[in-house]
Amino acid sequence: MTAFKSDFLRVLDERGLIHQVADPEGLDALCRTGVQTAYVGYDATATSIHIGNLITVTLLYWFQETGHRPITLMGGGTSMVGDPSFRDDQRKLLSVEEIATNIESIKRVFGRILRYGDGPTDALMVNNADWLLKLNYVEFLRYVGRHFSVNRMLSFDSVKLRLDRDQSLSFLEFNYMIMQGYDFVELNRRYGCSLQMGGSDQWGNIINGVDLSHRMGGPQLYAVTTPLLTTASGQKMGKTANGAVWLNGDLFSPYDFWQYFRNTEDADVGRFLKVFTRLPLGEIARLEALGGAEINEAKKVLATEITAIVHGREAAEAAAETARKTFEEGSLATDLPSVSMTRTEFEAGLGVLTAFVKAGLLPSTGEARRQVKAGGLRVNDVLVSDERAVLGSADLTSDGAVKLSFGKKKHVLLRPE
RNA sequence: GGGGGAAUGUCCCGAGCGGCAAAGGGGGCGGACUGUAAAUCCGCUGGCUAUGCCUUCGCAGGUUCGAGUCCUGCUUCCCCCA
């Protein structure tokens, strides 16, 4: 692949954001002929998007940054079907209400990353329920369905897994790729959108839209996918003990988010800086080159920059400061995540095990008991050795709280009030 | 419609002569070592008012002192035939 001439593709390429491109020369040329429109679709399968989705939002960010108009497409219609791509089982069907609440909740993140409005390069928020839900079945089949070859659809890698394993692929799910293909054509028609982007798992679905446009006599459409992000040791990104790394603060706090990236493996630092942050490449090269323990400085920059993008600069700085006090100074950071409880409840005598469960650090007293044996619990930085110990006023620090620590990294302040 | 197979510890995969809180992995968590890293090693990986009690093997019944295991019905999924 030769060097791109358009600002947009050049930035993506330099930052390692490109996995595949359909018609790279054509797209490169198009991006140099004025304001273009591109979209990424987001399914409403949860109340938040997660770290894996953040990369595609980043694509839209750079798209807007280089002078174009991004569209975030909410899958209000497609979520009623469920994308079967690379899944080995059928998704649970979501109710209309669930989809609606999910969309409302998901929307909140985008506003921080993209600039929405009415200007020529302002982002648009669109919902495919607007056109998919009122389609007439037979009409749709004759108009769109005839352009799809089942033979070809069966050959896509995204569904092969299911078929090869002799697992059923319902007709409902099979229609997902047709709907997504149609979305692309419809967005082109409504907004002149000529580029669809997404994760590498979406390649097949996106190409379906490109083909459909051809077959229906529409314009040339383009596709860009990003690589699937894995850690250097081969794990998929974004999984923690408590589930996915969500972007909504109510599901995954800014502090935890910061910590997640602070704990990046050495080998991933440079790559993640390029992919997620907006720092200049020169600066990234400098940070990446830090050796040994010094690379921790780069990890802090990485954590703060990404957190700032998702939760705002202020929240990011706060998380960094809390971490600094806790880990470097060893002092009691008063803004650690805290859990409050009533004074009477506290003074009635609170067992250590129960305290950790109440603080949300552990799921059960049984687990707490095990952690005491394993030496993983601390109260005010003192190792808990007796599982029958009871907390009392004597354990309150001058700040009026008890610091509970699970392992070396998870700390919570318990405040009787 | 007919025939055959499957469902196990609420993360996943997977053993399981009628005595089972149920083998073994993976993943995850904790500990040691480090740099809040990786690799490695060790431990843990149903719940609780805890020398005991309660709930788990698709669902509902039954046989039995005792059922994940045997019987009956049901549900879901898969395969083959029509």
Is a pLDDT exceeding 80 seen at residue A169?
no
Query: Is A64 within 8 Å of A40 (Cβ atoms)?
Result: no
Q: Is the CB atom of residue A92 positioned under 7 angstroms from any atom of strand B?
A: no
Chain-centroid distance, C-alpha A403: 31
Q: Is the CB atom of residue A354 positioned under 7 angstroms from any atom of strand B?
A: yes
List, for residues A354-394, the tens digit of each pLDDT value: 999 989 899 899 999 999 999 999 999 899 989 889 998 88
- Averaged pLDDT for residues A303-315: 95
Furthest CA-CA distance within chain A: 78
Q: Give strand letter and number of the nucleotide nearest A163 (CA to C1').
A: B78
DSSP H stretches of helix in A200-358 = 203-215, 254-262, 269-276, 281-288, 295-311, 313-323, 343-347, 352-358
Q: What is the pLDDT of residue A220?
A: 96
Which letter does DSSP use for residue A20 in this model?
A: E
pLDDT-based confidence at residue A320 (cuts at 50, 70, 90): very high
Rounded distance in angstroms from the CA atom of residue A262 to the C1' atom of nucleotide B6:
45
Q: What is the pLDDT of residue A243?
A: 61
Q: Give strand letter and number of the nucleotide nearest A353 (CA to C1').
A: B48
Q: What is the pLDDT of residue A79?
A: 86
Pick from A268, A242, A230: nearest CA to A410: A242
Q: Is the CB atom of residue A239 positioned under 7 angstroms from any atom of strand B?
A: yes
Rounded distance in angstroms from the CA atom of residue A371 to the C1' atom of nucleotide B9:
20
Q: Give strand letter and number of the nucleotide nearest A364 (CA to C1').
A: B47
Subset of residues 28-57 in chain A with CB less than 7 angstroms from any atom in strand B? none
Rounded distance in angstroms from the CA atom of residue A346 to the C1' atom of nucleotide B17:
54
Residue type, A246: W
- What SS3 state is found at A410? strand
Residue A23 CB coordination number (10 Å)? 14
Q: What is the pLDDT of residue A215?
A: 94
Subset of residues 355-394 in chain A with CB less than 7 angstroms from any atom in strand B? 357, 363-367, 369-371, 373-376
Which range has the worst mean pLDDT, A169-178, A296-305, A312-321? A169-178
Measured over the CA atoms of residue A395, residue A414, residue A365 and residue A254, the dihedral's sign is negative
Residue A266 half-sphere exposure, CB side, CA atoms within 13 Å? 7
Which range has the worst mean pLDDT, A104-118, A131-145, A170-184? A170-184
Q: What is the pLDDT of residue A238?
A: 61
Rounded distance in angstroms from the CA atom of residue A205 to the C1' atom of nucleotide B82:
36
What percentage of residues in chain A have a pLDDT greater than 90?
55
Rounded distance in angstroms from the CA atom of residue A351 to the C1' atom of nucleotide B31:
23
List, for residues A170-210, the tens digit of each pLDDT value: 778 888 889 999 999 999 999 999 999 998 888 889 999 99
Subset of residues 254-293 in chain A with CB less than 7 angstroms from any atom in strand B? 259, 262-266, 292-293
Rounded distance in angstroms from the CA atom of residue A52 to the C1' atom of nucleotide B23:
37
Q: Is the CB atom of residue A151 positioned under 7 angstroms from any atom of strand B?
A: no
Rounded distance in angstroms from the CA atom of residue A199 to the C1' atom of nucleotide B76:
32
- Averaged pLDDT for residues A256-279: 91
The whole-chain average pLDDT of chain A stands at: 88
Residues in chain A: 417
Rounded distance in angstroms from the CA atom of residue A240 to the C1' atom of nucleotide B11:
11
Residue A389 burial by Cβ neighbours in a 10 Å radius (0-12, 13-18, 19+): middle
Query: Which chain B positions come under 7 Å from a protein C-beta?
Result: 27-32, 34-39, 43-50, 77-79
Rounded distance in angstroms from the CA atom of residue A354 to the C1' atom of nucleotide B65:
39
- Averaged pLDDT for residues A119-144: 94
Is a pLDDT exceeding 80 seen at residue A330?
no
Q: Give strand letter and number of the nucleotide nearest A264 (CA to C1').
A: B37
Rounded distance in angstroms from the CA atom of residue A90 to the C1' atom of nucleotide B11:
17
Q: Is the CB atom of residue A235 positioned under 7 angstroms from any atom of strand B?
A: yes
